[in-house]
Structure 1
Amino acid sequence: MTTDLAAPEIFGSTTTAGRGKRPRPPFGVSIVAILAVLIALFSLIPLGYVIFMTGATGWETATGLIFRPRVGELLLNTILLIVITVPLCLVLGVGGAWLVERTQLRGHKWWAVVLAAPLAIPAFVNSYAWVSAVPSLAGLWSGVLIATLSYFPLVYIPAAATLSRLDPAIEQSAASLGLGAWRTFFRVVLPQLRIAMTGGGLLVSLHLLAEYGAFAMIRFDTFTTAIMVQFQSTFNGTAGNMLASVLVFLCLILLLVEVRSRGSARYARVGSGAQARALRLPLHAYQVPAQLSLLALAGLAFGLPVWFVLRWIIAGGPGIWSTAEFLPALVQTLGYGMIGAVATTVVAFPMAYLAVRHPSWFSKLLELSNYVTSSMPGIVVGLAFVTVSIRLVPGFYQSTGLLVAAYVLLFVPRALVNIRAGLAQAPKELDEAAQALGTPPLLSFIRVTLRLSAPAAAGGAALVFLGIVNELTATLLLSPNGTRTLATEFWSKSSEIDYAGAAPYALLMILISAPMTYLLFQQSKKVAGQ
């Protein structure tokens, strides 16, 4: 019989169950840890590339490139973008989720889907539409506008799912103690949204650090756009790598803040809890303002982009449609999206399992490695893979496997955050009870933990699929010869100011992403038992 070889000081102790026996993990913790370590080492390839290139540059050259006015300007732009956009996304996401799940909002089931819909529109398509509407858009506040409208669903979806499964007895108890609606929300409900808010806020921040197309269209300079300019115009790898090193440092700060703010509170419960539905608060005079506010938000985030995409299609006429051009791009986009989503979800599971079931400095360090890589812009990940593959495994260069590997590293946090939340809602006591009754560890894991976390994993896979469909820079660098995706074709057309020619590709991306966004929303509801 195999035994768990993991050191308790690293992985933590396990509670006893049954007749005094120490229940074994579904998979040996040591096996999961080995897989997680291998994944973490692989994910650090881009970071190792940046560190190596930084070291090869030399101290004097590196400090000269980092401590200069241009870097200060980019740093200020990026920090202001995050500091302004993330709170706005939290307010819109949590506020929308509360209106949909906890008030007598008319048409709340319809609004629940509508508020998730903007996630189906890529940020650079959103920017393309807003530039079409207001050609003078540029600068920080334009970037905040587009980023907020593009990314607030990353907070809304997990917040709505958490509210829908929150035990109504908690709020009823608060009300019985004399707390009003607002005090109940801030003192009881909001703390229960900590995981959703910190996870969603982190995803928004990582998107802001890595986004290129949306900000390039409105001429707003961030570290990512500056790195792309360096590599595209002069292929100045030294200056670009120095900018990337600062970007990685920003990511580390964000990750540390997220880990500390997440806390160690437990949010799972054993048993079904109260069966009653939560009492929805009447809006009374606030019904009309609430409806108008949600209508304005949906119109700006979803209606306006779709309207201008359709307007450009009508302006272009039938001549902009060609099956020979669209069919290969469509097929390859779907193929890469599905393969990458499955691979990323599988890779994320060992890391999420350790983070939830065996939290420690070790598991947090492994998790941190994935977030660091995913925060790096696609061009840095792409260039790292190009360099490593050419020098070490030339046959792997410009292969499908290399491109899928880049997708995994770029989007693993999307799966990791969802799987982690799903595992947090699957009490380990149920798995331990199954083992105490004689069920083998692997079988109890499949029947209990995997079954309960499957909806969250599916939601993570849907998020990864959306990311791959909309990915641009790494695809341009790593895709095999002849590869054409909807995103790269859209960017090629829009870069040439052929907005009518780019519109069909934008429409196809929206049409592909919309069902996956709806699936993501439905899966989040399944986690809530609805």
Structure 2
Amino acid sequence: MTTDLSAPPTRGSTTTAGRGNSPRPPFGVSVVSVLAVLIALFSLIPLGYVVYMTAATGWDTAVELIFRPRVGELLLNTVLLILFTVPLCLILGVGGAWLVERTTLRAHRIWAVLLAAPLAIPAFVNSYAWVSAVPSLEGLGSGVLIATLSYFPLVYIPAAATLSRLDPAIEQSASALGLGAWRVFFRVVLPQLRLAITGGALLVALHLLAEYGAFAMIRFDTFTTAIMVQFQSTFNGTAGNMLASVLVFFCLILLLLEARGRGSARYARVGSGAQAKALRLPLHAYQVPAQLFLLTLTALAFGLPLFFVLRWIVAGGTGVWAADEFLPALLQTLGYGLAGALVTTAVAFPMAYLAVRHPSWFSKSLELSNYITSSLPGIVVGLAFVTVSIRLVPGVYQTAGVLVAAYVLLFLPRALVNLRAGLAQAPKELDEAAQSLGKPPLLSFIRVTLRLSAPAAAGGAALVFLAITNELTATLLLSPNGTRTLATEFWSKSSEIDYSGAAPYALLMILLSAPMTYLLFQQSKKVAGQ
């Protein structure tokens, strides 16, 4: 029996969405597209601010302010910081991931979590602990030390996730062809880690450009610390704006280098079938050195900061736990974190829906705008909102809404990536079936798509919450008068050399960040398997 697909449906028949077509979105494709475009335009505010301020300054003045010895000094510091820190993070991250996932390392499951743990400690808390241990720390070497110990998990987590899901059959084939263990690693395994390495290196570099507190504490000048000094002395003066334009240019160069380094090669298996069980390389005599190496690394990156935080708490006694001081900071941090996480996740929905259900150059362009903005340091986003709010809508300057809006722009990709993965796992055929049974698009979206993507949305919201909890620069610039978050109170007290008073805020940030860091580690392994 055949069916004429070109014939119109007869009276009383039911027409369903054809296979391969997308179900109707809850508010129509045009409405979702308009929302996504508005979000993309909103996300370009910081970049537009930099372009406008550079143009308004005038070519002669801009050249004079950019091409001066101070900018050259900051540029040299930044380049050297990146050139030393990124390779060290790559070595520690990839090396740690390989030991955990591909060798007979004892207690490898425990080490897998411990190597991700330093990410729960904000870099400025790490710097505070190291200054407590060695008060004379300052300069480039100290910056490289603290940044490496703070950011190597950004390489370790994606590298470990990739190795855990990498089909070992390719390694076994290389070994069968006579390649030794080291040649297999460099010629077979390492190329498979290309995406993890380039992505991790980009994240580390962008964090180095954005970090303020860690480098200010050890008196190491970078673009971000210099911009903050300019803002505090001249309130968003021309010199600070020109430094911000150089910093943004630097970020865009890093994005282009990462895209070029990532390449267009495919790293996925084609076809189904059972994945072979990974054969772990015996460590033999290297078991003890490997254990000592990981023990030293985690002790320096996680143990030392935690030790000095607890030491300062003990030294301060019960007085540092005065509820009228730390409780408002904790509650406001939780409030801003929850509000920012919910708003960011909601804002990410239209763009994620278009990217998954209606992929095109249009949806990819909208996504790219958010990634560009999120790569900008928090201080640039903060300066943009300060300028825009004062000049266009002065009534909203230093309000909670402006601060939450800045959080949305800074951390939107964290929610967007998770939502995109969650929507991709929600079969559109179920939505089509619900609509073919007479359910309105909005109801079918809530009962089917939203329900199935809820875990991914919750994961993205948790990661946004973690980022907001530890955010410092944008909060310092935009927070309303009287705002007290854990990060700003910690910074205020540590700047006054009240290390005992700062310790409770540091500990609370670590306790809030730890479960979110574990969630990020577990989620990365799931994403690597998709």
Q: Same fold (TM over 0.5)?
A: yes
Would the aligned equivalents of 1:26 and 1:444 in 2 still touch at CA under 8 Å?
no
**Segment drifting more, 81-90 vs 180-189:** 180-189
Deviation of 1:329 after TM superposition, in Å, equals: 0.9
Separation in structure 1 between the aligned mates of residue 266 and residue 414 of structure 2, nearest angstrom: 21
**Segment drifting more, 356-365 vs 380-389:** 356-365
Deviation of 1:529 after TM superposition, in Å, equals: 6.4
1:262–1:338: structure 2 CA closer, same or farther, 3 Å change rule? farther
Deviation of 1:379 after TM superposition, in Å, equals: 3.1
1:505–1:246: structure 2 CA closer, same or farther, 3 Å change rule? same
Partner of 2:155: 155
Would the aligned equivalents of 2:161 and 2:525 in 1 still touch at CA under 8 Å?
yes
Partner of 2:6: none
Amino acid at match of 1:283: L
**Segment drifting more, 346-355 vs 303-312:** 346-355
Amino acid at match of 1:75: L
Partner of 2:76: 76
Deviation of 1:134 after TM superposition, in Å, equals: 0.9
Amino acid at match of 2:201: G
For the pair 1:198 / 2:164, whether they are aligned, the reply is no
Would the aligned equivalents of 2:431 and 2:449 in 1 still touch at CA under 8 Å?
no
Partner of 2:282: 282
**Segment drifting more, 329-338 vs 70-79:** 329-338
**Segment drifting more, 457-466 vs 45-54:** 457-466
Deviations 1:51-97 (A, max 9, x none): 22222211111110001011111111111111221222122112111
Deviation of 1:212 after TM superposition, in Å, equals: 0.4
Partner of 1:505: 505
Amino acid at match of 2:227: I
Amino acid at match of 1:175: S
Would the aligned equivalents of 2:422 and 2:454 in 1 still touch at CA under 8 Å?
no
Separation in structure 2 between the aligned mates of residue 199 and residue 456 of structure 1, nearest angstrom: 21
**Segment drifting more, 362-371 vs 175-184:** 362-371
Separation in structure 1 between the aligned mates of residue 30 and residue 273 of structure 2, nearest angstrom: 34
How is 1:80-99 mapped onto 2 (pairs within 5 angstroms)? 80-99=80-99
1:287–1:95: structure 2 CA closer, same or farther, 3 Å change rule? same
Amino acid at match of 1:343: V
Would the aligned equivalents of 2:486 and 2:509 in 1 still touch at CA under 8 Å?
yes
1:339–1:101: structure 2 CA closer, same or farther, 3 Å change rule? farther
Would the aligned equivalents of 2:402 and 2:478 in 1 still touch at CA under 8 Å?
yes
Deviations 1:25-52 (A, max 9, x none): 7858776654443222111112222222
Amino acid at match of 1:127: S
Q: CA RMSD in A?
A: 3.3
Separation in structure 1 between the aligned mates of residue 96 and residue 145 of structure 2, nearest angstrom: 17
1:302–1:21: structure 2 CA closer, same or farther, 3 Å change rule? closer
Deviations 1:236-257 (A, max 9, x none): 5100000000011101111111
Deviations 1:239-292 (A, max 9, x none): 000000001110111111112222333445577642543222211111111111
Partner of 1:23: 21
How is 1:228-243 mapped onto 2 (pairs within 5 angstroms)? 228-235=228-235, 237-243=237-243
Partner of 1:409: 409
Aligned length: 508
Separation in structure 2 between the aligned mates of residue 191 and residue 356 of structure 1, nearest angstrom: 28
How is 1:219-230 mapped onto 2 (pairs within 5 angstroms)? 219-230=219-230
Separation in structure 2 between the aligned mates of residue 222 and residue 73 of structure 1, nearest angstrom: 9
How is 1:10-409 mapped onto 2 (pairs within 5 angstroms)? 23-24=21-22, 34-235=34-235, 237-268=237-268, 273-348=273-348, 365-409=365-409
Partner of 1:16: none
Deviation of 1:412 after TM superposition, in Å, equals: 2.7
Separation in structure 1 between the aligned mates of residue 273 and residue 351 of structure 2, nearest angstrom: 29
For the pair 1:491 / 2:491, whether they are aligned, the reply is yes
Would the aligned equivalents of 1:431 and 1:449 in 2 still touch at CA under 8 Å?
no
Deviations 1:155-205 (A, max 9, x none): 211221222222233333333333333333233322332332222222211
**Segment drifting more, 197-206 vs 353-362:** 353-362
**Partner SS for 2:226:** helix
Deviation of 1:418 after TM superposition, in Å, equals: 5.8
Deviation of 1:326 after TM superposition, in Å, equals: 1.2
Separation in structure 2 between the aligned mates of residue 216 and residue 515 of structure 1, nearest angstrom: 28
Q: Where do 5+ consecutive residues of structure 1 fail to align? A: 1-18
Partner of 1:11: none
1:181–1:417: structure 2 CA closer, same or farther, 3 Å change rule? farther
Q: Where do 5+ consecutive residues of structure 2 fail to align? A: 1-16
**Partner SS for 2:281:** coil
1:529–1:363: structure 2 CA closer, same or farther, 3 Å change rule? closer
Separation in structure 1 between the aligned mates of residue 381 and residue 418 of structure 2, nearest angstrom: 23
Separation in structure 2 between the aligned mates of residue 392 and residue 80 of structure 1, nearest angstrom: 39
Deviation of 1:349 after TM superposition, in Å, equals: 5.6
Separation in structure 2 between the aligned mates of residue 487 and residue 90 of structure 1, nearest angstrom: 28
1:363–1:183: structure 2 CA closer, same or farther, 3 Å change rule? farther
Percent identical across equivalent pairs? 81
Amino acid at match of 2:161: A
Deviation of 1:149 after TM superposition, in Å, equals: 0.7
Asked which structure has the greater CA Rg, the reply is: 2
1:302–1:437: structure 2 CA closer, same or farther, 3 Å change rule? same
Partner of 1:474: 474
Deviation of 1:314 after TM superposition, in Å, equals: 1.3
Would the aligned equivalents of 2:374 and 2:412 in 1 still touch at CA under 8 Å?
yes
**Partner SS for 1:484:** coil
**Partner SS for 1:317:** helix
Separation in structure 2 between the aligned mates of residue 512 and residue 435 of structure 1, nearest angstrom: 37
Separation in structure 1 between the aligned mates of residue 524 and residue 415 of structure 2, nearest angstrom: 13
Amino acid at match of 1:256: L
